Amino acid sequence: MNLCGREDLRALLGRHGFHFSKSMGQNFLIDPAVPAAISAASQAEGSCGVLEIGPGVGCLTAELAERAGKVVSIELDQKLLPVLAETMAPYPNVEIVPGDALKLDLAALAAEKFRGLRPLVCANLPYNITTPVLTKLVETPCFESVTVLLQKEVARRLAAAQGSSGGGAFTLWLQYHMETEVLFDVPAAKFFPAPKVDSAVLRC
């Protein structure tokens, strides 16, 4: 199954009676080159445990599973759990954790799930939770790096040079704690359904 193929995706979601939720900001990647590039950008390897937030149908999850020692994906939408049970069945090093990443104790989760592994974060973040998720990740100091796909305008702002007009209070706070860099852009056409704005990959 091609998890990024539009027709395969429609068939998969149809089998499980899944309907997109605008409130959850669900936009799934439909170009396999994009999750492959994001996974590579995360620099995950066998010695790493990767925390993913919002796996969707698992196209990025599968790429991460090929690289990392273990992948733990937190999914809020209960309707996606049976979808992920199907798509992640070939990957024994993937564990899906139902729940809200903003409410879970991520440090405790990483300590439990990634024993002996270096914890990283890699995710395609819903636009509407970007700031609170990044805030929580920075405040969970066990993660070596955070590689996220988010709204292009936000990514550019968070990587803006200090003192430039593109930044703001959150940018200053984030850059105080982590180095930030925009790696590459992802056009809206690479998603289904397509969002109204382009995205970019930010690495912290």
3-state SS, residue 23: helix
H or E stretch including 64? helix 59-67
pLDDT of residue 166: 65
H or E stretch including 184? strand 181-186
159 found inside a domain: no
Nearest to 114 by CA among 73, 76, 81, 146: 73
80 found inside a domain: yes
Q: Give the domain CATH number at 130.
A: 3.40.50.150
Nearest to 122 by CA among 97, 150, 95, 103: 150
Each of the 204 residues of the chain gets a pLDDT tens digit; together they read 899 988 999 999 999 999 887 777 789 999 999 999 999 999 999 999 999 999 999 999 999 999 999 999 999 999 999 999 999 999 999 999 999 999 999 999 999 999 999 999 999 998 889 999 999 999 998 999 999 999 999 999 999 987 666 678 999 999 999 999 999 999 999 999 999 999 999 999
pLDDT of residue 23: 76
99 found inside a domain: yes
3-state SS, residue 74: strand
CA–CA dist 67, 52 (Å, integer): 14
168 found inside a domain: no
Domain membership of residue 71 as a residue range: 6-151+180-203
Chain mean position to CA 107? 17
162 found inside a domain: no
Q: Which residues contact 40 (CB under 8 A, 6 or more apart)?
A: 67
CA–CA dist 187, 121 (Å, integer): 22
Strands (DSSP E) along 70-157, which ranges?
Answer: 70-75, 94-98, 118-124, 146-151
Number of domains comprising the chain: 1
Q: What is the pTM of this model?
A: 0.95
User: Which own/partner contact pairs does 175-182 have at CB distance under 8 Å and 24+ positions apart?
Assistant: 177/138, 178/138, 178/146, 178/204, 179/204, 180/204, 182/155, 182/156
pLDDT of residue 71: 98
CA–CA dist 2, 82 (Å, integer): 17
Residue type, 145: S
Looking at the chain, how many residues does it have?
Answer: 204
Both structure tokens of 61 = 């999850």
CA–CA dist 189, 193 (Å, integer): 9
3-state SS, residue 158: helix
Cβ contact 146:121 at 8 Å: yes
Residue type, 126: P
